[in-house]
Chain A
Amino acid sequence: MEGSELKELLSISDKDFVVNVLTFFIKSEIEKAGFKKAVIGISGGVDSALSAFLCVRALGKDNVVLISMPYKESSTQSVEDSRLIGKVLGANFFEMDISPQIDVYYRRYPNASKLRKGNKMARERMSILYDFAYDNNALVVGTSNKSELLIGYSTRWGDNAYDINPLGDLYKTQVWEIAKFLGVPEKIVKKKPSADLWPGQTDEGELGFPYDLLDRILVAYVDLKMRKEEILSFGFDKSVVHRILNMVRQSQYKRKLPIVCKIAQRTVDKDFLYLRDWGI
């Protein structure tokens, strides 16, 4: 197998079919749980745009609540692109500036780092999404893709907190593929990915490698279960492969619920095994 074959492996043959599966998943899981609406945080990026497109397809625009939650330093482009998604989809769209509550809080900690503040903002947004979910009798639909889930590129209990996630088994490059197919506006599909945690931030700049490279390494490691030496034989930079595999290992805690200390015969996180869809 050659490096180019890894790229081919990521390519989705029948996008329409995958879209049908994802919409079926959204509709089934939400309705089984006794709901009919979805709440989604819209950032102006391709992931949340795709989640929103899929939810509208699955539930109808009247059953989808989109919330854009910029901070005063968020790029105007992000704000405008979020509005564009709202407009294109015609779903319920809200814009809420989170600067007041963030700034009040950080008045006490004026020297807080930008990462600390970025994490707080992500959790503030999560808190708003769940508040809206309660008010709308809805579930929160996530926007984390497989690439970021695997390297832990997210804020714990922030953007990685949601009820269901249609994108979690699609790598970033596959999200682009499906988003383009579904008609997500081109400017959103093509712009550089950014968590928009601070002005000028881009994912690939912060991570130090492009998604295209990341996804090929991840598909070899995760989906093909290849060993590190086999992955290196494709000619990838050794330090990048090493770093990515380390990120996967070190971020495992982000993919798991809190751990419980076992005392009794049966323990809720260990040997009390029931799916969430138990009885529904």
Chain B
Amino acid sequence: MKVASVQIDTVLGDMEKNIEKICEFVEMCVEQGVGVSVFPELSLTGYYLQDITPEIAVTPDDERLAPLKKLSHYIGIIVGCIEESDSHVLYNSAFYIEGGVVKHIHRKVYLPTYGMFDEGRFVGSGGKFDRFVSNGFSSTILICEDCWHFSSVYIPFLKGVKLIFAQSASPGRGYKNSGMFGNTRVWKNMGEFYSRLTGSYFIYSNRVGVEDGLVFSGNSFICDPYGNVVAEGSVFDEEIITVDIEESVIRSARMNLPLLRDEKPYILEKGLKKFLEGN
């Protein structure tokens, strides 16, 4: 099965235009025989939404998602959006669309609200990291800041997920690296680390373009279960990067480095229990 990480620019607050563009890229993915495609965080809306947030929120049955649902009969699609719950709480969410329906939703758990980020002011946080099945593969989705917390990958890892999809809209910063922003170096470190330690593919989609002087750092990439970056996008351009997912490589990585087999979650359970009780 072929996966694609798609990095695109988006128009801030214009969902129709963004959906139109995403559909074009999804069609290109279909032509390339891709089984699952992942787009960046908040790819339906643009990132720095602030007061646009409540104006652009959708529910999984929103009619504007119809073109994506139509295409999802041929390919799995992960997009980012502002989701409004039944009780009218807003979330920074990822929708996995397959077979004409939103099949899985991940609500971003860790909302950066410091420095240039202000997400916690505008949306509520999700409360779990789930496993779901994308085109037959056990998968999970992390959204940007989720990746920076240990608690995000652990449960999906224990459940044996094979594909970790990571979305971001990461503004570039730091001028101490060669050919990339400082934050890109950190993303690669995380991708290499997570893929190696979980024996999973890490499929990272970051956006490109500029919003009010924030230059998103692109450089989407895919790591194989051995922790190698096997495909990589450029810094500034919209593009599709693909990798063939090989069950045999996942197996090989997990045979050579049987970390899942040897993991001892009860140690964490005991320690956490004590910690939460204040000891």
Name A residues whose Cβ lies closer than 8 Å to a Cβ of B: 12-14, 17-18, 20-21, 24-25, 28-29, 32, 164, 271-280
CB contact between A278 and one of B52, B213, B215 (< 8 Å): that residue: B52
**Smallest Cβ-Cβ distance to A168: which chain B residue:** B213
Contacts of A279 in B (CB 8 A): 11-14
Q: Is the CB of A280 within 8 A of B50?
A: no
Distance of A196 Cα from B108 Cα, bound (Å): 52
Complex interface: chain A residues within 8 A of B259 (CB) = none
The B contact surface, by secondary structure, is loop
Number of chain B residues close to chain A: CB under 8 A: 24
| B172 at interface by CB-CB < 8 Å | yes
Nearest first, the 8 A-B pairs at minimum CB distance are A273-B50, A28-B210, A275-B212, A273-B51, A14-B178, A12-B175, A13-B176, A277-B211
B105 to chain A, nearest CB (A): 26
Contact in complex: B210, A24 (CB < 8 Å): yes
Known: A14-B178, A24-B236. A276 touches B11 (CB 8 A): no
Residues of A within 8 A of B210 (CB): 24-25, 28-29, 32, 277
Q: How far is the CB of B144 from chain A (nearest CB, A)?
A: 18
The distance in angstroms between the C-alpha atoms of A276 and B13, with both chains bound, is 11
Query: A20-B235, A25-B210, A25-B213 are contacts. A280–B11 as well, Cβ < 8 Å?
Result: yes
Instruction: Pull 14 A–B residue pairs with CB atoms less than 8 Å apart, ordered by A.
Output: A12-B175, A13-B176, A13-B177, A14-B177, A17-B177, A17-B180, A21-B235, A25-B215, A29-B213, A272-B51, A275-B12, A275-B212, A276-B212, A279-B14
Question: Any chain A CB within 8 A of the CB of B209?
Answer: yes
Chain A's closest residue to B213 (CB) is A25
**Given known A-B contacts A275-B211, A277-B12, A280-B12, A14 and B175 have beta carbons under 8 A apart:** yes
- Nearest CB of A to B210, in Å: 4
Docked complex Cα distance between A278 and B13 (Å): 6
| Residues from chain B with Cβ under 8 Å of A12 in the complex | 175
Taken together as a complex, chains A and B put the C-alpha atoms of A105 and B72 apart, in Å, by 68
B74 at the interface (CB under 8 A from A): no
- CB-CB < 8 A to B176: which residues of A? 13
How many whole Å from B182's CB to the nearest CB in chain A?
A: 9
Q: Which residues of B contact A280 (CB under 8 A)?
A: 11-12
| With A277-B211, A278-B13: A14-B179 Cβ-Cβ less than 8 Å | yes
Instruction: Enumerate chain A residues within 8 angstroms of B51, measured Cβ to Cβ.
Output: 271-274
Name the contact of A21 in the complex, choosing from B14, B50, B209, B215 (C-beta under 8 A). B215
**Cβ B172 vs Cβ A274 within 8 A:** no
List chain A residues, Cβ under 8 A from B11.
Answer: 279-280
CB nearest neighbor in B for A21: B215
Given known A-B contacts A272-B51, A278-B12, A21 and B172 have beta carbons under 8 A apart? yes
Q: Known contacts A13-B175, A17-B180, A20-B236: does B212 contact A277 (CB below 8 Å)?
A: yes
Q: A278-B12, A278-B52, A280-B12 are in contact. Are A13 and B212 (CB under 8 A)?
A: no
Interface residues of B in 33-65 (CB under 8 A from A): 48, 50-52
8 Å CB interface, B174-192 against A: 175-181
Whether B48 pairs with A275 at a CB distance below 8 angstroms is yes
Provide the residues of chain B in CB contact with A13, threshold 8 Å. 175-178
Q: Could you tell me if B215 and A24 are in contact, using CB atoms closer than 8 angstroms?
A: yes
- Contacts of B175 on A, CB cut-off 8 Å? 12-14, 17-18
- Complex alpha-carbon distance, A21 and B236, angstroms: 8
Kindly list chain B residues whose C-beta atoms are within 8 Å of the C-beta of A277: 12, 210-212
